[in-house]
């Protein structure tokens, strides 16, 4: 399997994500459904605290990646849904890199979508992932 991360020189290098990732060859693709900031009883963790909810989501995603034989370094795409403030202002964290995972440079191509509500009124963030690992291998 061959992976190539591409940062076109003509575009701004974003601190939180890469612009393009290509993968070719014999691989297993992994899709992980939207992960919400919940505990083992599907109760919201840290209502009102974006950072704590984000860290819980990332912890749960890491468990799912491992179960699929993947690591953060195998992630090829990330979609982040965030609940926007009612006044429509941009949250202070929107322009800052989120805590890093993987090799310290976890920056897969990403889309952040502001929404008015997620699956529960206390959820502030939900993330889904796509990863690619060599076929027949586990991490």
Cα distance between residue 120 and residue 111, in whole Å: 21
CATH number at residue 64: 3.30.1330.40
Q: What confidence score (pLDDT) does residue 105 get? A: 73
In-domain check, residue 22: no
pLDDT, average across residues 128-135: 95
Long-range contacts (CB closer than 8 Å, 24 or more residues apart) made by 48-56: 48/122, 48/124, 49/124, 50/82, 50/91, 50/93, 50/124, 50/125, 51/93, 51/99, 53/123, 53/124, 53/125, 54/98, 54/99, 54/125, 55/99
In-domain check, residue 94: yes
In-domain check, residue 43: yes
Q: What is the pTM of this model?
A: 0.84
Reported as a single tens digit per residue, the pLDDT across 100-112 is: 676 567 788 988 8
**Of 17-21, 44-48, 124-128, 131-135, minimum mean pLDDT range:** 17-21
* Domain enclosing residue 75, as ranges: 27-134
Place of tokens 């993987």: 102
In-domain check, residue 32: yes
């Amino acid at each position: 399997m061959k992976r190539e991360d591409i940062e076109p020189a003509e575009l701004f290098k974003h601190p939180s994500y890469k612009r393009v990732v290509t993968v070719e060859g014999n691989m297993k693709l992994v899709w992980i459904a939207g992960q919400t900031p919940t505990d083992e009883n599907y109760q919201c963790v840290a209502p009102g605290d974006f950072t704590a909810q984000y860290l819980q989501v990332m912890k749960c995603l890491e468990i799912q990646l491992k179960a699929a034989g993947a690591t953060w370094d195998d992630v090829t795409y990330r979609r982040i849904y965030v609940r926007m403030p009612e006044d429509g202002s941009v949250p202070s964290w929107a322009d800052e890199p989120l805590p890093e995972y993987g090799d310290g440079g976890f920056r897969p191509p990403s889309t952040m979508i502001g929404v008015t509500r997620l699956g529960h009124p206390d959820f502030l963030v939900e993330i889904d992932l796509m990863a690619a690992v060599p076929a027949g291998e586990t991490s």
